[in-house]
């Protein structure tokens, strides 16, 4: 398939290829054609489940259309929707709409939080011999923020955002160590590869993701769901970022409550260490 065809209306491309697809692949095509808006926010696992097929079939469907993988397929899907559904004019103004969406994602994330699960994660992190945060791109920035937050309450950790160093670091971890993997899609290959290495070596894996059914959840021992779904054209969206930071805030606050006196002392100590760097 030519690149020009791929840049056209994806629904027309699917209809064109439909007769040449296998029966299983046609089930995936039917799911996309019947509910394109919903599919845009599906993980590859979700799409496979909706279609009643395996993940391999869903990926084969994407490649049959000429895409390298599922994410490239979703990017073209997002472009199709963007062309078909022009941005609606928001009467109250764009800035009000952004504020409204940002507030809503906190409520959405709060509804997704399982308090018992959250407390279990806090306990596991509290007892960790070594603690790591893995993430790339925007999720990598969340990992760095987590390290900074924990440093202020005296909890040693490291945030690793380079995929190669992640993999090497993961190979050094073992029983009693904890890795928190951050990925909105739950399908970020670099992060997944590192988490699998850490898990294989005996480390406990905690995942922070939007998708309850995604590859990262199959690796994780604990899964914390965050709100703020995003399409491929919205990568690094404020809503998704805010939801991740909210989960990190819950974890850090919970850890601080484990030892209030120590946390308070470390907050003061770390604040005093930089006091001369501020005019």
Q: Is residue 115 part of a domain?
A: yes
Q: Is residue 89 part of a domain?
A: no
Per-residue pLDDT, 277: 87
At 62, give phi and psi (nearest 5°).
Answer: -65, -45
Regions in the chain scoring below 50 on pLDDT: 1-7, 85-90
Of 23, 58, 84, the position where a domain reaches its end is 84
If we measure between CA atoms, which residue out of 128, 169, 131 comes closest to residue 149? Answer: 131
Query: Looking at the structure, do residues 186 and 220 belong to the same domain, yes or no?
Result: yes
If we measure between CA atoms, which residue out of 59, 50, 61, 56 comes closest to residue 23? Answer: 61
Query: Looking at the structure, do residues 104 and 230 belong to the same domain, yes or no?
Result: yes
Q: Is residue 132 part of a domain?
A: yes
Contact (Cβ atoms closer than 8 angstroms) between residue 243 and residue 108: yes
Query: Looking at the structure, do residues 145 and 259 belong to the same domain, yes or no?
Result: yes
What is the DSSP secondary structure assignment for residue 1, as one 8-state letter? -
Of 54, 84, 114, the position where a domain reaches its end is 84
Measured between alpha carbons, how far is 257 from 259 in angstroms, rounded to an integer? Answer: 5
Query: Looking at the structure, do residues 164 and 267 belong to the same domain, yes or no?
Result: yes
**pLDDT tens, 162-214?**
999 999 999 999 999 999 999 998 989 999 999 999 999 999 999 999 888 88
Per-residue pLDDT, 212: 87
If one counts the domains in the chain, the total is 2
Cα within 13 Å of Cα(273), Cβ side: 8
Of 84, 117, 150, the position where a domain reaches its end is 84
Query: Looking at the structure, do residues 42 and 111 belong to the same domain, yes or no?
Result: no
Per-residue pLDDT, 6: 47
User: Residue 205 is part of which domain span?
Assistant: 95-277
Pair of tokens at residue 272: 């005093």
Per-residue pLDDT, 120: 98
Per-residue pLDDT, 236: 58
Q: How far is CA 243 from CA 81, 170, 249, in A?
A: 25, 26, 10
């Amino acid at each position: 398939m030519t690149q020009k065809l791929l840049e056209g209306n994806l629904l027309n491309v699917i209809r064109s290829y439909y007769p040449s697809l296998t029966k299983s692949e046609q089930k995936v095509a039917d799911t996309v054609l019947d509910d394109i808006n919903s599919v845009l926010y599906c993980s590859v696992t979700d799409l496979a489940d909706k279609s009643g097929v395996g993940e391999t079939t869903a990926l084969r469907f994407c490649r049959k259309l000429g895409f390298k993988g599922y994410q490239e397929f979703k990017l073209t899907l997002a472009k199709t929707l963007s062309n078909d559904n022009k941005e609606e004019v928001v009467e109250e103004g764009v800035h009000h709409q952004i504020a409204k969406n940002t507030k809503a994602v906190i409520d959405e994330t709060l509804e997704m939080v399982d308090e018992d699960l959250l407390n279990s994660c806090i306990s596991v992190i509290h007892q960790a011999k070594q603690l790591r945060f893995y993430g790339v791109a925007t999720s990598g920035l969340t990992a760095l923020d987590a390290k900074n937050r924990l440093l202020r309450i005296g909890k040693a950790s490291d945030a690793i955002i380079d995929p190669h160093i992640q993999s090497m670091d993961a190979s050094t971890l073992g029983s009693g160590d904890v890795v928190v993997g951050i990925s909105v899609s739950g399908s970020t290959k670099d992060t997944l590869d590192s988490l699998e290495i850490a898990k294989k070596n005996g480390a406990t894996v905690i995942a922070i993701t939007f998708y309850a059914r995604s590859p990262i959840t199959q690796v994780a021992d604990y899964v914390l769901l965050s709100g703020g779904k995003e399409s491929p054209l919205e990568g690094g969206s404020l809503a998704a970022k805010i939801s991740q930071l909210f989960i990190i805030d819950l974890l850090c606050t919970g850890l601080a409550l484990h030892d209030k006196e120590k946390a308070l002392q470390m907050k003061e100590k770390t604040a005093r260490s930089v006091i001369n760097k501020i005019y």
